């Protein structure tokens, strides 16, 4: 595979961008090669600047559930652009988005649009503290909730990939109120509440962890979180930046039947464009300025281009209820290909989310995920990339399937999976 232009761009980028990228996981450092610079995308494929067309299982880290450049979404975006890019003033589409969210995710009675998932989580945490009058937040090791200071403690995503689960530049005072429990470990949560029974404002959790790789909640774990937060009068926040509209139209809370007090959503509600939202019970959200004392603002919040793309995307999902069955069927086919061909791996899958871990240990928490052989994953990644299949350049990220993936895409991917586990491991390490 020719990658001369990508390498040239990477060399230029390294002169002006930290690590040559604008987000750490794009650097490909953990898989031992230079990143591919993408020129275009359509459907289930992306094409780099060297003209290599690849089957894409990153899907812009999740929001590409319909595939790239969906014609109905593009039509709405182009029309919105013709009317102007941003106003810094209210628009009808903001109202429509909030109304639609309240229908699709009923727990979000009142919501506020922002510009990213990180901003949504940061704001939801502030609301939880403002509503409860408490300071402490409980999160889980390996769960990533964006790069705000107070949550970069034992984080996942690129922080795990680069072996820096905490960040320099974050004062100790900023995280002194952040408690860390173990995902799927009820006792670790109980211990935190018993130690600080009147001080925890909220528990924040990825209902399906997807930033230490995909790790499923064990039976009853989410229900336990709902019950213990109610017992101690704390709020339960579901970070559905990844799972929102991925597992079901109502997200993980619909899929698992557990209702949080607050929900955070990311770029999937913008069809992949920069947008996010946080919302929940009206009583809680009325604390947000100008209704209440919790301040949060943003000039680009709910901007007209992102809301145009998001409304188009969500309405397609709303109208095509069979899409989730199709997505899961495609993902199960890939899962079965890994399980039938692979040895020494674990596959965690739910809906159209999946991760392949290079470990013999069942992956139910951070420690098990961290036991993965990252060198083996790097071999696997490079093998697939050379055969024009693009997966996450990190052991600790998810594989995403879109409605645009065709049977031909799946056939080709399954062939390459079989090839890799049959003799590719030996070839790639020699």
For 65-88, the pLDDT digits (tens) are 999 999 999 999 999 999 999 999
Residue ranges, CATH 3.90.1150.10, the chain: 4-69+322-428
Residue 252 contacts residue 238 (beta carbons within 8 Å): yes
Per-residue pLDDT at 167: 62
Residues sharing a CB contact under 8 Å with residue 363, sequence separation 6 or more, in sequence order: 213, 215, 346, 348, 355, 357, 369, 372
Residue 3 contacts residue 34 (beta carbons within 8 Å): yes
Residue 350 burial (10 A CB sphere; 0-12, 13-18, 19+): buried
3-state helix, strand, coil split of the chain in percent (to 5) is 45, 15, 40
Higher pLDDT, 147 or 108: 108
Taking residues 136-142, report their average pLDDT: 94
Examine residue 290 and say whether the peptide bond preceding it is cis (omega within 30 degrees of 0): yes
- Which residues are designated catalytic? 144, 239, 267
Instruction: Provide the token pair at 308.
Output: 């145009």
Per-residue pLDDT at 341: 85
Residue ranges, CATH 3.40.640.10, the chain: 71-319
**pLDDT, tens digit (0-9, with 9 covering 90-100), for 210-258:** 999 999 999 999 999 999 999 999 999 999 999 999 999 999 999 999 9
Per-residue pLDDT at 164: 40
> Confidence band (pLDDT; 50, 70, 90) for 194?
very high
**pLDDT, tens digit (0-9, with 9 covering 90-100), for 7-56:** 999 999 999 999 999 998 898 999 999 999 999 999 999 999 999 999 99
Q: What is the pTM (predicted TM-score) of this model?
A: 0.93
d(CA 391, CA 385): 8
Taking residues 149-174, report their average pLDDT: 56
Q: Measured over all CA atoms, what is the biggest interatomic distance in the chain, rounded to whole angstroms?
A: 64
Q: What is the fold, at CATH topology level, of the domain defined by 4-69+322-428?
A: 3.90.1150
Q: Which helix (H) or strand (E) holds 383?
A: helix 374-386
Taking residues 179-198, report their average pLDDT: 96
Tell me which architecture the domain covering 71-319 has in CATH. 3-Layer(aba) Sandwich (3.40)
The torsion angles phi and psi of 40, rounded to 5 degrees, stand at: -165, 165
């Amino acid at each position: 595979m020719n990658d001369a232009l990508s390498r040239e761009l990477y060399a230029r980028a390294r002169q002006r961008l930290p690590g040559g990228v604008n987000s750490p996981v794009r650097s490909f450092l953990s898989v031992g090669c230079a990143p591919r610079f993408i020129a275009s995308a359509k459907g289930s494929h992306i094409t780099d600047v060297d003209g290599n067309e690849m089957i894409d299982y990153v899907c812009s880290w999740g929001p590409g559930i319909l595939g790239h450049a969906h014609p109905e979404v593009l039509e709405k975006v182009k029309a919105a652009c013709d009317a102007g890019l941003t106003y810094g003033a209210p628009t009808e589409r903001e109202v429509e988005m909030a109304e639609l969210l309240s229908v699709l995710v009923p727990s979000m009675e009142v919501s506020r649009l922002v510009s990213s998932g990180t901003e949504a989580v940061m704001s939801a945490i502030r609301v939880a503290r403002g509503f409860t009058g408490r300071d402490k937040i409980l999160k889980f090791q390996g769960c990533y909730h964006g790069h705000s200071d107070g949550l970069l403690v034992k984080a996942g995503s690129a922080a795990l990939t680069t072996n820096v689960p905490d960040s320099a530049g974050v004062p100790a005072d900023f995280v002194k109120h952040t408690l860390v429990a173990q995902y799927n470990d009820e006792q670790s949560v109980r211990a935190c509440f018993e130690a600080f029974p009147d001080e925890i404002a909220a528990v924040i959790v990825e209902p399906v962890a997807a930033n230490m790789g995909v790790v499923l909640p064990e039976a009853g774990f989410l229900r336990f979180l709902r019950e213990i937060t109610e017992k101690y009068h704390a709020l339960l926040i579901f970070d559905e930046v990844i799972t929102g509209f991925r597992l079901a139209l109502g997200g993980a809370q619909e899929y698992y039947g557990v209702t949080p007090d607050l929900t955070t959503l990311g770029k999937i509600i913008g069809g992949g464009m920069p947008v996010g939202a946080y919302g929940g019970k009206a009583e809680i959200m009325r604390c947000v300025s100008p209704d209440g004392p919790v301040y949060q603002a943003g000039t680009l919040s709910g901007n007209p281009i992102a809301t145009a793309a998001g409304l188009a995307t969500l309405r397609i999902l709303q109208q095509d209820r069979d899409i989730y069955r199709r997505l899961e069927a495609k993902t199960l086919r890939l899962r079965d290909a890994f399980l039938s061909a692979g040895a020494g791996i674990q596959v965690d899958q739910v809906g159209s989310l999946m991760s392949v871990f290079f470990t013999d240990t069942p992956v139910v928490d951070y420690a098990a995920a961290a036991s993965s052989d990252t060198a083996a994953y790097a071999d696997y990644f490079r093998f697939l990339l050379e055969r024009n299949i693009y997966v996450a350049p990190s052991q600790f990220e998810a594989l995403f399937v879109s409605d645009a993936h065709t049977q031909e895409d799946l056939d080709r991917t399954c062939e390459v999976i079989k090839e890799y586990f049959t003799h590719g491991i030996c070839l790639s390490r020699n």
